[in-house]
Copies of this chain bind each other. A is one copy, B any other.
Amino acid sequence: MANKAITSRDIDFAAWYTDVVNAAHLASYSNVKGCIILEPNGYAIWERMQLELDRMFKETGHKNVAMPMLIPENLMKKEGDLINGFAPEVAWVTIGGQKELEERMCIRPTSETLFSDYYASVVKSYRDLPLKYNQWCSVMRWEKETRPFLRSREFWWQEGHTVHATKEEAEAETRGMLNIYKTFFEDFLAIPPITGRKTEREKFAGADYTLTIEALMYNGVSLQSGTSHYFGQRFSKAYGIEFLNKENKLENVYQTSWGVSSRMIGALIMVHGDDDGLVLPPNIAPIQACIIPIGNDDEVKEVTNTIYNKLKEASILVNIDNSEKTPGFKFAEAEVNGIPVRIEIGPRDLENNEITLTRRDTKKKIKVSLDKDIVLAVKELMNSIQKNLYNKALERRNSMTYECHKLEEVEEIMNNHPGFVKAMWCGNDECELKMKEIRGTKSRCILEQEKPIDNKCIVCGKEATNLVVWGIQY
């Protein structure tokens, strides 16, 4: 009995995605072209993501700040690769306070320039280092095609920017933050990402190298879900971030930046969602359990309140749906919103001294005696859902990851049942571009830890050292 407002996922994945975004009231298009509105249900997920990530950032010594949202053109231009990378897609403010500005300013597409300018003014000595700052904000990139969460002109993210006295420390930070993202994806989003290094062609404009986490969606399309960049001294040379090192000599700092965005909500939808709507892992769900009382019975009310209070005291994110809608409507709504555990309390169950828990992932119903510990029952169920979602996503990712040795194999896969393709690559731009001819297949990342599966480049047949994961991307 699938939700009628939602197209079947296997029939039209793109329509299914849009339907879920609408039916679960996550976001809506605004009358500002290319910009979306995060509605309460969508924003609540973003708040949960912020809360957990922010905790992880602070536990590793990072502090939050807020930088201006505008960047003067000359400040933006100091690092050549960055401006070349972003110039085509920024929005320019040219008038302020009814006057033409002497120097136009762009709305930040990313804030390396502002952080670098700030660090240049505050860093003096190795004693000031490292500085590990982060900000939560929205940024603006003038995209042509947009899609809620996946690509929109404005999106919400965090951007960490750090400066260090040594290359080693900065590189450890770059890798450390990637690992935090990986942990967050695995433990909270129940998504098993692959991680690795971007090719030169795909790395961030201005970075020495970019590490990335890539997730596979239900339809086999991959989503770049978070990146961590090592800049070396590029920005610190362009912006003059110098410090007196222990030998009392002036040196440029070593720098990193890293970010994840509201795009992760898109990943949640496309990894776990089904034909009834959203499916949220308990560890990231803004509402973990929803109590639906059936009827107006005094006993129903009493049991409802008792259970609500018990769960709330145990820090379970619980609510009661006391609206005037029918129980059937409430069930469907809890389902479409992806609430992990639905708790039905009705007179018939109470006659048997029990209530019914329904898990969102498998739809299975579990009768629980009122003599049992309800907190324990809900917690165990949530653990089971969290694990099941992760395992299902991992199985699916594994079953859709292919080792290829010939271009024809890649073509067959990408044209019929896309996924991650592992294949060797010689490192040449032309071979990378050749892959793109196959339905836009791009390198996702270089797997630095895994053993080579061949010694020849899958495209040119020449010597290859890099094992690369390829995929069609959002």
Contacts and interface: CB of A to CB of B under 8 A. Distances in A.
B69 A154 contact: yes
Contact of A37 (B65, B75, B104): B65
B154 A70 contact: yes
Interface string A58-87: 000001111111111001000000000001
A270 interface: no
Nearest to A323: B127
Which of A38, A68, A154 has most chain B Cβ within 10 Å? A68
Which of A38, A66, A67, A89 has most chain B Cβ within 10 Å? A66
A128 to B, nearest CB: 12
Given A30-B67, A133-B40, A89 B97 contact: yes
Contact residues on A (Cβ < 8 Å of other chain), bracket: 35 or more
A138 B137 CA distance: 9
Nearest to A121: B28
Count of this chain's copies in the oligomeric assembly:
2
A95 B66 CA distance: 25
Nearest to A88: B98
Interface of A: 28, 30-33, 35-40, 43-44, 46-47, 63-72, 75, 87-98, 104-105, 107, 114, 117-118, 121-122, 127, 133, 137-138, 140, 142, 144, 153-154, 156, 324
Given A28-B121, A43-B64, 11 more contacts: A31-B117, A32-B72, A36-B68, A37-B65, A37-B68, A69-B69, A69-B107, A87-B98, A92-B95, A94-B94, A95-B104
25 contacts: A30-B118, A31-B72, A31-B117, A32-B70, A32-B105, A35-B69, A36-B68, A37-B65, A37-B66, A38-B65, A40-B133, A43-B63, A43-B66, A66-B138, A69-B69, A69-B140, A70-B91, A87-B98, A88-B97, A89-B97, A92-B94, A92-B96, A93-B93, A93-B107, A97-B144
